Chains A and B, each alone.
Chain A
Amino acid sequence: MRPAGALCAAIVAAVTAAVWSQAPHVWLDPDAIGKTPVASWPTFNGDYSGERYSTLTQIGPGNVGRLARQWVFRIAAVGAQRGAPVPVIKCTPLMVGGVLFITIPDHVWALDARTGRELWHYDWVDHGGHLVGQRGVGIWKSTVFFLTPDNWLIALDANTGRELWRRNYADARKQYFSTSAPLIVKDHVIVGVGGDAMDMPGFLDSFDPANGDLQWTWWSTPRAGDPALKTWPNETAADHGGGMTWMPGTFDPGLNLLYWPTGNTNPVFAGQGRPGANLWTESIVALDLDTGKLRWYFQVSPHDTHDFDNTTAPILFDATIGGKPRKLLAQAARNGFFVTLDRVTGEHLVVKPYVPLDWASGLSPQGEPVPIPDKDPSVGGSINIVNASNWPAPAYNPHTGLVYVNSVEGKAIYYLTDDSEKPSGYGGTGMSIGRTQRVLQAIDPLTGNVVWKHEYPSLNNAPTTVGPSILATASDLVFTGDDQKNLIVYSAAKGDILWHSELGATESGGIVTCMLDGKQYIVFGAGDSLYAFSLPN
């Protein structure tokens, strides 16, 4: 070895050692996860409420114009994945102890939150599954949990990325696939699953974070002997009825209840083989954390035939109505209805369209929309709305009392492609027709009324997976973006645009904020890059 080379090697070794010894140490008290996030963003929604509301005020209307990009981490070393020409960050980054954790399908990175420098990278070689997205990790003590496209729960050492254990919970050959972020609550890792190509039943699993032992399973459709089977023509149809659990739910520590949104019914567009309401697909379900037992449900789309896939976040918030404090839950559902429920009982307060729609003839006595059969997909084509929302996170600001959601107004033609008595799979197809308009809306969850809305100018039709995600802060800012690479900050009360910044791609994952070294950071993924913004020194 030449002396220069030896010197270089020595420097590299010394620098590596120095960096390693200064690496932040990650340890998260599970009891801290539900608290208001200030110096961390320790779980998918920041806390368990799904509000995506931060109490931080360093960045406010008066100085937001000075927000500046601090660093960008670009995923440069992955390239095309199956069905995805370039990596797209769809996760909500978690930040614990100065370390950010981000994902795309099959990959996890730990980054230094101060610099965006990579600390470690975990790379999974999948054996099947759909690589459509990955929403992020969960953290318990010093363990990071990650779900793979082929349905493995992987436990990693948060400080090194070394694998601790893994456990398979669903078969990719049955078209189950996983994109979710595990939800960590106390000593439970709650894992949901996706996959609606093959008429499989959805389920939710709870695992022991220490060793991966299965604690309970809740099935999205009723098993033998359950009275809810009366909403299906027979047990076989229920066994193949879908209701995937592919987005993280929310949790009320006081009531010890998980609130989980369940996905579309199967067969997806062809409902003729499954007359009935098809419980508990397309619902919001309240489950006991310790047992997984169903406490109550509200079915947002009974007998769905439009892939209304009810997986938008159920937001938990409290309000005073008629002088009485109420524990409530709100959801801007994909079927176009805004729903507000009493989260103790499941009783409805508001069920009201928030986009123009005409597919329901009214509400049932339980408050559930009643679908009009003529709007079902048909051989000749049937016109109905596109999905009004999707998985990207809405937000709620308790100060304004408003829910903020990116929504779509528009129509699609739905065809029935399988008109047999025993359809299977999707059994149909839908494609938007005409202009589909993206609209940011601020909705009063106590009335369902739209307080303000902003139509995004664009020549592009809204994507079916509308977003991006939203963050609300105590300085009455709303962070989100358009479909043309702009991060945009709105005033929470009126929807005025206060600031924007052009990025390399459209915001594609969750936006988080937390304090680090006295600075409020805003961190989010846009395309293949993770961006960190803060005020300059």
Chain B
Amino acid sequence: MEKLAVQERVRNDRSIPCSRRRWRGPGLLRVPGCLLAGGIVALAAASIGQQTQNAGEDGVRQYQNMTPEQRAAATRQFLGLGAVPDKAAAARGAPVYQGNCAFCHGPQARGATGPGLITSDEVLGDDHGEHLLPFLRKGRPDKGMPAFATMPDEELRDIAEFLHLQVEEVANRGAYRVLNILVGNAAKGQEYVVAHCMSCHTAETFAHIAAKFRSPDQLQRAWIWPSRSGDERLAVTAAVKTADGPTIAGRVTQVSDFRITLVDGAGQTHVIDREPGVDVRMNDPLAAHQQMILTLTNDGMHNVTAYLDTLK
């Protein structure tokens, strides 16, 4: 049923021009397109969603450093979402919706005694009220939905924007917010830290640690897997014994099966092909954290975060 409705809508959509493709046959030259710098790579790191690319640690950081508005806008573009809801109008529409519609359709328009609206053809086929207003004025009396014939257009439009904002909050996962993740037991978290962390760390590591992060989820991420960026002590290092003798040690900036690139203590870069006779020994200062991740339980994670969050 849903699909038939879809095809109906498309056939009736006069905004789609009859000839919407450009055909380029043999021998025709293309005009080079404009190369735009893209900042969208970063956002993908935020989602282990369908087909998304992970932009690595830098991407995660870049994404976390965006304002919520930037994040939502970037994801909106990436997903090809439709018209941007008018938030001011939606705020005006909220009480109107709650007073007139929520009883049947639920407070977030996800359905109650009546159907959910956020996945409905009427709402998703509308940009800014051009289809919804005539629909709301008539209602659907045969199915028990009253006509809102006397409601002013401004209020109907505000309801429409409220509905579009409900869609946005579901479809735009860049607009998602983590909830209050402080669900653990701080005392047990302290016990975990004493038992598991103090062979490498001192109390100094944890002093005021919560003050260094903007949110508990960033704190949670950072204590489990600290960012290497800006902290030389966390860099992966290697000692490379070359085929002709000398051993070169330094910070690894690249490694593959075929090549390793190091920056030594003097700041000099060495690019070494991994040929027979070349021996590479790598050292990761975060190896113990990697081991911890493999065995960390959800309760353990929650408890430690709850404890560290008290260290403002």
A residues neighboring B (CB under 8 Å) = 16, 19-20, 23, 76-80, 82-86, 119-125, 127-133, 149, 154, 160-163, 168-175, 177, 179, 194, 196-201, 203, 217, 236, 239-240, 244, 246, 263-264, 268, 306-307, 309, 356, 374, 378-383, 386-387, 390-391, 411-420, 422, 424-426, 428-436, 456-465, 482, 484, 486, 488, 497, 500, 502
3 smallest A-B Cβ distances: which pairs?
Answer: A85-B38, A79-B33, A425-B170
Within 8 A of A (CB), among B230-287: 236, 252-258, 284, 286
B79 CB contacts on chain A under 8 angstroms: 83, 130, 175, 197
What separation, in Å, do the CA atoms of A50 and B31 have in the docked complex? Answer: 38
Residue of chain A at shortest CB distance from B39: A85
**B276-310 vs A: 1/0 string, CB under 8 Å?**
00000000101001100110111001100100000
- Flag if A149 contacts B178 (CB, 8 Å): no
Tally B residues with Cβ within 8 Å of A.
Answer: 94
Contact B23 A162 (CB under 8 A): yes
Max chain B Cβ within 10 angstroms of own Cβ: one of A196, A391, A460: A460
Does B180 make an interface contact (CB < 8 A)?
A: yes
Q: Which of A119, A149, A429, A500 has the most CB of B within 10 A?
A: A429
Q: Is the CB of A240 within 8 A of B32?
A: no
Provide the bound-state CA to CA distance between A457 and B255, in Å: 6
Q: A203–B51 contact, CB under 8 A?
A: no
User: Is B118's CB within 8 Å of the partner chain A?
Assistant: yes
Q: How far is the CA of A154 from the CA of B20 in the complex (A)?
A: 12
Which B residue sits closest to A412, measured CB to CB?
B48
Which chain B residues have a beta carbon within 8 Å of chain A's beta carbons? Answer: 2-3, 6-7, 9-10, 16, 20-27, 30-38, 40-41, 45-54, 56-57, 60, 77-82, 106, 108, 110-111, 115-116, 118-119, 124-125, 167, 170-173, 176-184, 217, 220-221, 224-225, 236, 252-258, 284, 286, 289-290, 293-294, 296-298, 301-302, 305
Contact A464 B52 (CB under 8 A): yes
Residue of B nearest to A154 (CB): B21
Question: Which residues of chain B are within 8 angstroms of A429 by Cβ–Cβ distance?
Answer: 46-48, 173, 176, 178
Complex: how many Å from CA A172 to CA B7?
11
How far in angstroms is the closest Cβ of chain B from A308?
10
Q: Is the CB of A203 within 8 A of B301?
A: no
Instruction: Decide: B176 and A417 in contact? CB cutoff 8 A.
Output: yes
Q: B303 — nearest CB in chain A belongs to which residue? A: A380
With a cutoff of 8 Å between Cβ atoms, the chain A residues found around residue B167 in the complex are 198
Chain A residues near B179 (CB-CB < 8 A): 379, 415-417, 419
User: Closest approach, in angstroms, between the C-beta of A504 and any C-beta of chain B?
Assistant: 15
Nearest chain B CB to A467 CB, angstrom units: 11
A122 to B66, CA, bound (A): 37
Bound-state CA distance A161–B26 (Å) is: 9
Q: Is the CB of A411 within 8 A of B293?
A: yes
Of chain A, the residue at the smallest CB distance from B260 is A457
Interface pair A461/B57, CB less than 8 Å apart: yes
What are 13 A-B interface contacts by the 8 Å CB criterion?
A124-B20, A132-B51, A161-B24, A170-B3, A173-B124, A200-B119, A378-B183, A381-B301, A426-B47, A436-B54, A465-B52, A482-B256, A502-B258
Q: Which residues of A contact B184 (CB under 8 A)?
A: 380
**Which listed residue, B51, B78, B224, touches A133 by the CB 8 Å rule?**
B51
- B225 CB contact (under 8 Å) in A132, A196, A424, A433: A433
Q: Residue of B at shortest CB range from A375?
A: B298
Whether B50 contacts A83 by the Cβ 8 Å rule is no
Contact B302 A380 (CB under 8 A): yes
Residue in B closest to A88 when the chains form the complex, CB atoms: B53
Give Cα A163 to B10, complex, Å: 19
List 16 extra interface pairs beyond A198-B124, A429-B178, CB under 8 A. A85-B36, A122-B21, A124-B20, A162-B23, A163-B23, A200-B2, A239-B2, A307-B50, A411-B293, A418-B176, A424-B170, A433-B224, A459-B236, A464-B54, A465-B54, A484-B256
Contact of A415 among B36, B181, B252, B286 (CB under 8 A): B181
Question: What's the minimum C-beta distance from A252 to chain B, rounded to whole angstroms?
Answer: 27
Q: A431 near B50 (CB under 8 angstroms)? A: no
| A83 with B182: CB separation less than 8 A | no
Contacts A380-B183, A434-B289, A434-B290 hold; do A128 and B224 have CB atoms under 8 A apart? Answer: no
Contact A415 B217, beta carbon cutoff 8 Å: yes
| A268 engages B49 (CB within 8 Å) | yes
Complex Cα–Cα for A484 and B256 (A): 7
B46: chain A residues within 8 A (beta carbon): 429, 431
Cross-chain contact of B21 among A125, A149, A419, A432 (Cβ < 8 A): A125
Q: Are A500 and B258 in contact (CB under 8 A)?
A: yes
Chain B residue, CB-CB nearest to A196: B50
* List of B residues within 8 angstroms of A432 by Cβ: 48, 54
Q: Which residues of A contact B78 (CB under 8 A)?
A: 82-83, 130
Is A434 within 8 A of B180, CB to CB?
Answer: no
Please determine whether B49 and A196 come into contact, CB atoms closer than 8 angstroms: yes
Interface-centre pick from B116, B178, B254 (highest chain A CB count, 10 A): B178
Give the CA-CA distance A199 to B256 in the complex, in Å. 41
A422 touching B111, Cβ below 8 Å: yes
**Bound: A236/B115 CA distance, A:** 9
Min Cβ gap A213→B in Å is: 13
Q: Which residues of B contact A23 (CB under 8 A)?
A: 26
CB-contact partner of A464 in B9, B48, B221, under 8 A: B48
Contact partners of A418 in chain B: CB under 8 A: 176
Let me know if A128 and B82 touch, CB within 8 A: yes
Instruction: Assess whether A175 is in contact with B171, with CB atoms less than 8 Å apart.
Output: yes
Shortest Cβ distance from B256 into A: residue:
A484
Question: Of A19, A122, A465, which is within 8 A of B26 by CB?
Answer: A19
Contact flag A121-B35 (CB < 8 Å), given A127-B16, A425-B171, A426-B176:
no
